[in-house]
Structure 1
Amino acid sequence: MENHIKSNKNYLNPNLSLKILSKELNLSEGYISQLINKNSNLNFNDYINSLRITDAKNMLVDSEYNNYTILAIGLESGFNSKSSFYTAFKKFTGKTPVEYKKSVRNL
């Protein structure tokens, strides 16, 4: 399941849900949720958001994305709004995307 999500980059779909994933994998929503909780200690939304934040962090430090706004990076990472991106980013990194970008650029 994890391989399916990561290799297909399903998490980049802002509309990804347990229902969609259960149809793709032909597994029940409850079972997928249970697997994610057991193996990552995160609920489904937090697990998907953690993958999105990893992508966003990579984009924030990649010079190829220098012309992207912070919002564009959030949207490219699978978030559907600025507020959900900023909230999740702060939750997983302890910093805003701007603070993170500045901190890694100053290394």
Structure 2
Amino acid sequence: APPPAPTAARPHGPRGSSADLATIVSGISSLTVGAARLMDGGTVKQTMVAMEESSVLVMSISDGSLLGVHATPDCDMSVVAYHMALFVGRAGHVLTPELRSELRKSLESTR
């Protein structure tokens, strides 16, 4: 059966909160790091999960943080990966846990 058509009541993107997406990104990263260790593959740089209705791309930042993007199935994932790599290269060192916490708090106060 075809997937249900989007409706006004159904939000676009993953179900649940951004915390759920963060949990998924963390789990994907943990799984791929474990696989890399078992296979003597070295450091995991990025992981892509392609699904029928969307994709998730996870990229490591040098301090151990992760950048995850949830994308539509029709986007060009090579372009997404390129821009993620640019972002990580230019801003990854600035995104400290303290700054991310501040940004999260400021977002919550505007809701």
The TM-score normalised by the length of structure 2 is 0.30
The one of the two structures with greater contact order (alpha-carbon pairs below 8 A, sep at least 6) is 1
Larger Rg: 2
Which structure has the highest strand share of the two? Answer: 2
The TM-score normalised by the length of structure 1 is 0.31
Which structure has the highest helix share of the two? Answer: 1
